[in-house]
A and B are shown apart, each in its own frame.
Chain A
């Protein structure tokens, strides 16, 4: 630690430049990571919404609807099915048009169709379910949001690729700038490095204090960028709450674990910080390693 503060004192501008470069890289990367996680969460949420709604003719027997419902459940492609009877449909209609008495007068429960809201396990089952329903007797109309889901999936794909390219560019740029700045810093110690080599110090021994300094820079930059990000997140929390109203929970699937993204979850924040700190340390240490090699040969 003494060596670290001594180095800060000796090269304050270079140290500040290293900190700022790392800070902005980690801030952008973590913002990107959190945004993508939210986007994935939203996509996951949309995927499990009622994706197929089937409206039946008004004269259909309830038993026939239940038969179709059972068949769908047995198909293993459906997560959940909600039956909306004529009476319930009328209740919903009344709620939606409570401010328009004229519309309420014109409609009764008998003219509204009973329906099933079907939640598919995966979006790829949507067309199959829709085709099956269209063939059933008493079906009036089948509506499903294939287009919306497909658009979201392709948008996520584009975002993922764009973020990946941006991230790689950001990392490369950061490493190049860091190597340049670190070379100035290390050049001030080139006599000491040369002397240590002549005295028989191993490359690892010489690298150690520089890598320790790089570790501290990576960690401190990650902490600083994450604190700023947390302040921003909590500042906009009320806005997010109103924007995501009606969405109780957003999760991302990590294969072995469903990680909650929304409402703000401390585990998700901790994972985001750990990833940010890991990248910060790796970038900083790697850049130092490259910058040092020139003086160790």
Chain B
């Protein structure tokens, strides 16, 4: 479960990124966070992964209180979270297998187990037989599939997707969404996006942000501009 309670985040120059944000996301819930650029979508995701810390308010992620100043369980928390970025963040000097294995090598797993897990995730994202290819040999859609595979391996419970279809054409975006549909029953998914079609078609919970404020929180909601 993820809980935000009266969270305020200001950036060093004083501009407010989030103002008095409160919401709760249940385990295995699929939530869209929508809003225009600068609304605070990425800030919420970064607060959940504790890339940022709030100025005030409480953030609880899977029983971890992220509002504490010192947070020694950072690695423990992050091992439960998989992150998908708009720009994929795939390492170009590593092949597909190595990019995905990166997320597993931090766990005490055998090479055999890592291989098994990578193969399983590649099959889930539809990239079987492409494990030896390098990023420059892949299309944007394939790169995002690699990023999804990397985010889901290692039994990560929470998936943070920061505009994962932002750089993709509509057809590829839908293919990516199909992967999210496959994993939604097992993971908590927080999906930040601008894509009206995707949000409106899936009929999931929608949290709408505007200038750092939560303006709507709708079950089976829609994205209205």
Contact = CB atoms under 8 A, between A and B. Distances in A.
A205 B103 CA distance: 12
Contacts of A10: 93
A195 interface: yes
A200 B102 contact: no
A189 B103 CA distance: 16
B106 A201 contact: yes
B51 A198 contact: yes
A200 B153 CA distance: 13
A195 B98 CA distance: 13
> Size range of the interface on B?
10 to 19
Given A195-B102, A205-B106, A200 B76 contact: yes
> Size range of the interface on A?
10 to 19
Nearest to B82: A199
A88 interface: no
Given A198-B49, A198-B51, A191 B106 contact: no
A195 B89 contact: yes
Interface string A124-137: 00000000000000
The 10 tightest CB contacts between A and B, nearest first, are A200-B78, A200-B79, A201-B106, A200-B75, A199-B103, A202-B75, A198-B83, A192-B91, A205-B106, A195-B89
A196 B103 CA distance: 7
A199 B102 contact: yes
Nearest to A203: B75
Nearest to A10: B93
Contact of B91 (A195, A197, A205): A195
B92 to A, nearest CB: 9
6 contacts: A196-B102, A196-B106, A198-B49, A199-B106, A200-B78, A200-B80
Contacts of A205: 106
Contacts of A196: 102, 106
Nearest to A194: B89
Contacts of B78: 197-200
Given A195-B102, A196-B102, A196-B106, A201 B91 contact: no
A168 B77 CA distance: 43
Interface of B: 49, 51, 75-81, 83, 89, 91, 93, 102-103, 106, 150
B149 to A, nearest CB: 13
A196 B77 CA distance: 13
Interface string A200-218: 1110010000000000000
A94 B207 CA distance: 112
Interface in A1-44: 10
Nearest to B83: A198
Contacts of A199: 78-79, 83, 102-103, 106, 150
Interface of A: 10, 191-192, 195-202, 205
A153 B93 CA distance: 60
Nearest to B79: A200
Contacts of A198: 49, 51, 78, 81, 83
B75 to A, nearest CB: 5
A197 B75 CA distance: 8
B45 to A, nearest CB: 11
Contacts of B91: 191-192, 195
Nearest to B92: A191
Contacts of B81: 198, 200
A199 B91 CA distance: 14
Nearest to A201: B106
A191 B78 CA distance: 17
Contacts of A201: 75, 106
Nearest to B94: A192
Nearest to A206: B106
Contacts of A192: 91, 102
- Interface centre among A195, A197, A200, by most chain B C-beta atoms within 10 angstroms, is A200
B51 A200 contact: no
Contacts of B103: 199
A200 B102 CA distance: 11
A205 B104 CA distance: 12
A197 B83 CA distance: 11
Nearest to B103: A199
Contacts of B77: 200
Contacts of B49: 198
Contacts of B102: 192, 195-196, 199
Contacts of A200: 75-81, 106
Nearest to B49: A198
Given A196-B102, A205-B106, A191 B75 contact: no
A195 B102 CA distance: 9
Given A198-B83, A199-B78, 20 more contacts: A191-B89, A195-B89, A195-B91, A196-B102, A198-B49, A198-B78, A198-B81, A199-B79, A199-B83, A199-B103, A199-B106, A199-B150, A200-B76, A200-B77, A200-B79, A200-B80, A201-B75, A202-B75, A202-B106, A205-B106
